[in-house]
Structure 1
Amino acid sequence: MSILPNIISNHQTPPPSTKTRLILAFLLLIFPILIIVKNYPLISNSSLLSSASSFSSQILSFSDSTTCDIFDGRWLFDNNSEPIYSPGSCPFVEREFNCIKNGRFDRTYLKYRWQPYGCNIPKFDAMKMMEMLRGKRLVFVGDSLNRNMCQSLICSLKMFKINQLSRSRDFHSYHVQDFNSSIIFITAPFLVQQRQLPGRRDTLRIDTMEGSISKYHDADFLIFNTGHWWNHNKSRNGENFFQEGDSIHYKMDVGVAYTKALNTWANWVDKNVNKNKTQVFFAGYSNTHFQGGDWDTGGSCDKETEPITDEKSLTSYPLSMQTLETVISRMETPVVYLNITRLTDYRKDGHPSKYRQPGSRGGFQDCSHWCLPGVPDSWNQLLYASLLLSLEPSSNKNTNLVLYFYTLVFLCTLFFKNLGILTFKLGLVVKY
């Protein structure tokens, strides 16, 4: 028989002091609160994305509890696979990307779909995509590969009423009327400012962002890219081209200038972008497949009709993308790295080649950009999957946080209701 009831009945021990009760209450309550804070930090728009330290690629957890890197996979031939929009049907595709309309007769390159190792990615759903973009602005900033991606996205949404508000060499603007949504492309191949000095050739201000970007710092989605213009040809071998402040460097290595420019971009994002409102993406380097020369020295790819299947034939991961990962890892603003580099390396069959314009059989071939429909549609599928996944976990976390909160309230109610009895018994046990 327990002696505790006898102890309680035979000894009139005074109840613990108010101070003791408060200490016990604090200790019993702080533990579950710490658990909630640890597992469910405050959620903002920026936390819907991968953290700045998780920069190498977007790691996604799907509803079947599978976790995988959606940018690590392979291209599968699927004879039943059809592009989201029919070749030649989209009025927003510029002539240089409209390969089938320009005379390309083989369509096998449209039968491949991207398959990550270890998980499946959702098919692109235009309605769900537009719901995520409702009342928002999505802005692409970068070179013509980002323009390739922008036009792919517009064509994937063309079943909705889209007004093309502006289209020039440097600026494209579209408005999806029923969703009050805007999709914009800004040409900024270096991201930093290229300027013409009076009486001199142009220079690249690697310490100053391209001015036209500033007015879109508050867009809901910003998708940056750069890469193809960072070569010795485009940068005049680094001779009297790169400028910092009022100083024009007589000679600077292109890789050094590229790193400085990326840091300028990163600092601009950290200082000007509200990470609680704007989601930032950076699209990786899109591989080229020139054979027998470069674009201006007879390089070609028109004989390629299927992707690379042997991984040993892939190129090494670019040093420029390793630099990008390092820069992103040091940023305060979360950035989702759309790591399309390896994905595009396989697809030597997807370029416009000699079909960059109608009846083109001579001149240079385009083995840098991509036919539309084509490979960039997969980039937007991965963007879509990233956006979907970023929203679903936050919803689950919020739901669980509410459940934890009400459970805590219930426990607190019981606790304070029985606090006097509990502390009294604890005091007796300690004493005896």
Structure 2
Amino acid sequence: MGTTSPLKQQPHSFTKKLIAWTLYALLPIALLRLYFYPIPLPQSLTDQLPHNDPIIITTSSSSSPQEEERADEIACDYTNGKWVHDKLGPLYNGTSCGTIKDGQNCIIHGRPDLGYMNWRWKPKQCQLPRFDPNSFLQLLQNKHLAFVGDSMARNQLESLLCMLASVSPPDLVYQDGGDNKFRRWNFASHNINVSIYWSPFLVKGLEKSNNGPNYNKLYLDSVDERWAMDMNHIDMFVLSIGHWFLHPAVYFEGDSVLGCHYCPGLNHTEIGFFDVFRKAIKTTLKTIIERRGANANAIDVIVTTFSPSHFEGDWDKAGACPKTKPFKEGEKPLEGMDADMRKIEVEEVEAAKANAKQFAGLRLEALDVTKLSLMRPDGHPGPYMNPFPYANGVTDRVQNDCVHWCLPGPIDTWNEILLEVMKRWKGQSRKGG
């Protein structure tokens, strides 16, 4: 009675052996499955992995050495992608640097929703690394970087200064003109100067005033010498214009009037502003090439493409830019004026590259931010261009800024891409455009 028949253990023993044999058979199958179809990492982890710079994509899948040598390699295309949620947020806030224009300091002005700061641009073809202030400062060491253009140039400049200030606070060493239109900072740690030059047309222009005609005057065959006179002391330009060309204006070449844009009451031909915008870009790049190329001086030129606005109705109506999240991929097409302005800039940069090939020291690039900016209707100050606009209750009419960008905000991405262009240039020899 105390013994157990070996016949009663047999099914249990057989079952154990069967399980073991099954596991041994499945193990190599599982390993092969993982080898050919690896499990993808969660996005939050892939964003934290280190990335090699620059990121290169090959257009050929051939494995033969001969074909691999002939395969064309292209730098990552940052223009196509989507905005993904990001928990880490920006490098700075509204109080950590003193260079943010009041109208773009949305945090200090009481904007209640802060989710607009927690998005990152994710290109389709590669990863866009987070901005590394130390890398930027090292690449720019002993050089002079100048932002030239309108208030969008200033917006991008202030974004850059705030990110760099997180590791090396700059000293303001020069300022002139109303509304801080001409300023220069110095980073003593790396012997770097960063300047802003107000020049909303890049070419010579007379801006409309309260005391004079209600239109601008543009001289399309001459650059604005307020920035061009310092050209020989600048190593890198970031040019950014566009929105001022929508204003009423009369256009000149030499002493001759070419026409105008929205000038009722004047005996001039209405010619719009697209061709004029192209002429201004062309004259600017041609002048830089001629002045710096002829002297065999190295210089880098970035043209930041047109930044779309997001007004929904009247500029002074409550809720003029009410969105609180980015557009999804494909939700908002790039079209109309935004597409036309961007196209002009990209085409003129490519033409200037061809003209600059004879000069080994010139490098040009379009910082193509139009589409990724179009997808961020949530990133503007809106009514928070002024402090606490609803402190006394919500009103039907209120000033809105749906053109510029909150700092921190989407415009920080422009400088992340700028850094990637600089990294790529660092790894190349100067061969012209």
TM-score, normalised to structure 2's length? Answer: 0.70
Q: 2:136 aligns with which of 107, 112, 129?
A: 129
Structure 2, unmatched stretches of 5+, are 1-52, 59-73, 260-267, 357-362, 391-396
Give 3-state SS (helix, strand or coil) of 1:194's partner: strand
- Specify the SS of the correspondent of 1:178: coil
Indicate the residue corresponding to 1:224 in structure 2: 239
Aligned counterparts of 2:188 and 2:96: Cα–Cα separation in 1: 20
SS of the residue 1:74 aligns to: strand
CA contact (8 A) 1:301 1:367 kept: yes
Separation of aligned partners in 1, 2:236 and 2:200:
19
1:305 equivalent in alignment to 2:324: yes
RMSD of aligned Cα (Å): 2.5
Whether 1:96 aligns to 2:110 is no
* Uncovered stretches (5+) of structure 1, i.e. residues with no partner: 1-59, 398-432
Determine if contact 1:161/1:178 at 8 Å carries over to the other structure.
Answer: no
Moved more, 256-265 or 188-197: 188-197
* Aligned twin of 2:251: 242
Partner of 2:201: 190
**AA matched with 1:144:** S
Return closer, same or farther for 1:290/1:346 CA change in 2, 3 Å cut-off. Answer: same
Alignment partner of 1:148 out of 155, 163, 168: 155
* 1:350 alignment counterpart: 379
**1:326 and 1:89, CA in 2 relative to 1: closer, same or farther beyond 3 A?**
same
Q: Secondary structure at the match of 1:213?
A: helix
Higher relative contact order (CA 8 A, sep 6+): 1
Contact 2:203/2:223 (CA < 8 Å) preserved in 1?
A: yes
Q: How many residues are paired up?
A: 327
Letter in 2 for 1:345: L
- Could you tell me how far apart the structure 2 residues matched to 1:139 and 1:224 are? 8
Residue type at the aligned position of 1:214: A
Structure 1 CA distance, aligned partners of 2:91 and 2:281? 34
**Partner secondary structure for residue 175 of structure 1:** strand
| Corresponding position of 2:15 | none
Question: Is 1:326 paired with 2:361?
Answer: no
How far the C-alpha of 1:351 sits from its partner, in A, is: 0.2
Which of 150, 163, 169 is 1:161 aligned to? 169
User: Which amino acid counterpart does residue 156 of structure 2 have in structure 1?
Assistant: M
Q: Find the counterpart in structure 1 of residue 222 from structure 2.
A: 208
Q: Which residue type is aligned with residue 360 of structure 1?
A: P
1:258 paired with 2:277, answer: yes
Q: What is the CA distance between 1:394 and its match in structure 2?
A: 4.5
- Contact kept? 1:301, 1:351, Cα under 8 Å: no
Distance verdict in 2 for CA 1:246–1:340, change over 3 Å: same
Contact 1:300–1:367, Cα closer than 8 Å, also in 2: no
Looking at structure 2, the residues matched to 246 and 220 of structure 1 have their Cα atoms a distance apart, in angstroms, of 33
In 2, the alpha carbon distance for the partners of 1:64 and 1:263 equals 31
CA contact (8 A) 1:225 1:284 kept: yes
Q: Quote the Cα distance in structure 2 between the aligned partners of 1:271 and 1:253.
A: 29
Q: State the AA in 1 paired with 2:228.
A: S
The answer to which structure has the higher helix fraction is 1
Distance 1:208 1:289 in 2: 32
| Aligned residue among 158, 178, 184 for 2:189 | 178
Letter of the structure 2 residue corresponding to residue 224 of structure 1:
L
Deviation at 1:96, TM superposition (A): 0.6
- Percentage identity across paired residues of the two chains: 27
The 2-side partners of 1:196 and 1:142 are apart by 13
Specify which of 69, 72, 85 is matched with residue 77 of structure 1: 85
SS in 2 for 1:304: coil
How many Å apart are 1:310 and its aligned residue? 4.7
Distance 1:227 1:351 in 2: 17
